[in-house]
C-alpha cells in the first residue's frame, strides 16, 4: 500500500493489561479533536458475542464457514487464529480510511500485528504490558469465581502474547492508567508529526509557503 495521509496504530496486549480501557480513553480524548479524525477498526470474529457485545459495533460476528469464505475472497488485510477462534481485519476499512487521512487504531494480537507490519512498514505498533506477574494474575482472577484450571489457562494465553513483546515499536507498561494513557498519547503525537506523514498532510501549506 502506498503512503497514506492517515496513520495506522496497532495496540496489542495480553488480556488483563488494561488495553480495552486505554483504547476507550484514547478515543474519547481524540474524538473532540477537529484536526484529526480517528477510527477503531471493527474486526470480524468467529467467537460468540459476550453479554453486551453488539454485532457491527464490537465485532462483526460470523460463523467459521463465512469467515473462511471471506479469507478466500481476499477480504482480510490480516487474519489469525487465536484462542480457538478466527479474527480478521478487513482491507477495505483500513485502506480507504487511511487514504482519507483518518487515523486507524487496530486492537489485534501479535500474529495480526506482524502481518500488518509486513505490509505497512510505517504502521506504529504498541505493546501494552502489565506491571507485574502478580498484577496480571489478580486481573485475570477476576472475582475468584473461576477454577484454578481456567485461571492457569488464561495465564498461559497471556504469557504466549507477552513472549512477542520485542516485536513491537513501542512498549508501554500499564502500572498507572493515566501515565500509560499519556505515554500512548505521546507516541501517537510523535508519529503524527513524522516528516513522511506531514509531507502528505501539509502539502498545501508548503506549496503556499514556497510559492
Ligand atoms: P477477544 O476475543 O477477547 O475480544 O480478543 C482476543 C484477542 O484477539 C485480543 O488480543 C484482540 O486484540 C485480538 N483481535 C481482535 N480482533 C482481531 C483481528 O481482527 N485480528 C487479529 N489478528 N486479532 C484480533
Is 174 domain-assigned? Answer: yes
Query: Whole-angstrom Cα distance, residue 19 to residue 116?
Result: 19
Residue 58 in any domain: the answer is no
For residue 159, what pLDDT is reported? 97
Q: What is the pLDDT of residues 135-152, one digit of tens each?
A: 999 999 976 778 889 899
CB distance 125 to ligand 1 below 6 Å: no
In a domain, 176, yes or no: yes
- C-alpha dist (Å) from residue 159 to 2, 137, 143, 184: 35, 11, 21, 22
Q: Which pLDDT belongs to residue 83?
A: 87
| Mean pLDDT for the chain overall | 94
pTM of the model: 0.95
Residue 53 lies in a domain: no
- 1, pLDDT greater than 80: no
CA distance 24 to 40: 10
C-alpha span between 144 and 202 (Å, rounded): 53
Question: Residue 211 Cα, ligand 1 centroid: separation in angstroms?
Answer: 48
Q: Is 110 in the pocket of ligand 1 (CB under 6 A)?
A: no
Report pLDDT digits (tens) over 68-92: 999 999 999 999 999 899 999 999 8
Q: Give the Å distance between the CA of 38 and the centre of ligand 1.
A: 19
Does residue 89 form part of some domain?
no
Percent of the chain with pLDDT over 70: 99
Residues 169-196 have pLDDT tens digits of: 999 999 999 999 999 999 999 999 999 9
Containing structural domain, residue 126: 8-41+102-209
Q: State if residue 89 touches ligand 1 by the CB under 6 angstroms criterion.
A: yes
Q: Is residue 136 part of a domain?
A: yes
pLDDT surpasses 90 at 112: yes
The reply to whether 143 falls in a domain is yes
Measure the CA–CA gap between 109 and 106, rounded to whole angstroms.
Answer: 9
Res. 34 pLDDT band, cuts 50 70 90 = confident
Banded model confidence at residue 2, pLDDT cuts 50, 70, 90 = confident
Q: For the segment 117-129, what is each residue's pLDDT rounded down to a tens digit?
A: 999 999 999 999 9
Dig out the grid coordinates for 32 from the structure.
473532540
What is the CATH number for 187?
A: 3.40.50.300
Q: How many domains does the chain have?
A: 1
96 has a pLDDT exceeding 90: yes
Listed in sequence order, the DSSP H helices in the chain are: 19-31, 64-72, 91-99, 110-119, 133-141, 148-162, 177-192, 195-201, 203-209
CA of 88 to the centre of ligand 1 (A): 8
Residue 147: per-residue pLDDT: 87
Q: pLDDT class for 65, splitting at 50, 70, 90?
A: very high
pLDDT score, position 143: 65
Q: Is 52 contained in some domain? A: no
Q: pLDDT at position 142, please?
A: 75
pLDDT of residue 28: 93
Amino acid at each position: 500500500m502506498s503512503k497514506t495521509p492517515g496513520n495506522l496504530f496497532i495496540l496489542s496486549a495480553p488480556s488483563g493489561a488494561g488495553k480495552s480501557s486505554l483504547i476507550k480513553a484514547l478515543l474519547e480524548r481524540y474524538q473532540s479533536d477537529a484536526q484529526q479524525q480517528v477510527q477503531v477498526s471493527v474486526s470480524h470474529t468467529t467467537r460468540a458475542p459476550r453479554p453486551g457485545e453488539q454485532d457491527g459495533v464490537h465485532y462483526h460476528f460470523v460463523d467459521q464457514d463465512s469467515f473462511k469464505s471471506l479469507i478466500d475472497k481476499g477480504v482480510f488485510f490480516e487474519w489469525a487464529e487465536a484462542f480457538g477462534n478466527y479474527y480478521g481485519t478487513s482491507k477495505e476499512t483500513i485502506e480507504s480510511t487511511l487514504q482519507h487521512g483518518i487515523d486507524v487504531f487496530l486492537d489485534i494480537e501479535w500474529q495480526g500485528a506482524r502481518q500488518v507490519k509486513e505490509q505497512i512498514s510505517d504502521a506504529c505498533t504498541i505493546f501494552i504490558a502489565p506491571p507485574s506477574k502478580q498484577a496480571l494474575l489478580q486481573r485475570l482472577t477476576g472475582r475468584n469465581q473461576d477454577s484454578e484450571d481456567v485461571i492457569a489457562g488464561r495465564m498461559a494465553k497471556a504469557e504466549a502474547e507477552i513472549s512477542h513483546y520485542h516485536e513491537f515499536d513501542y512498549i508501554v507498561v500499564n502500572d498507572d492508567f493515566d501515565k500509560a494513557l499519556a505515554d500512548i498519547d505521546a507516541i501517537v503525537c510523535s508519529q503524527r508529526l513524522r516528516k513522511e506523514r506531514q509531507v502528505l498532510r501539509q502539502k498545501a501549506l508548503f506549496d503556499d509557503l514556497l510559492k
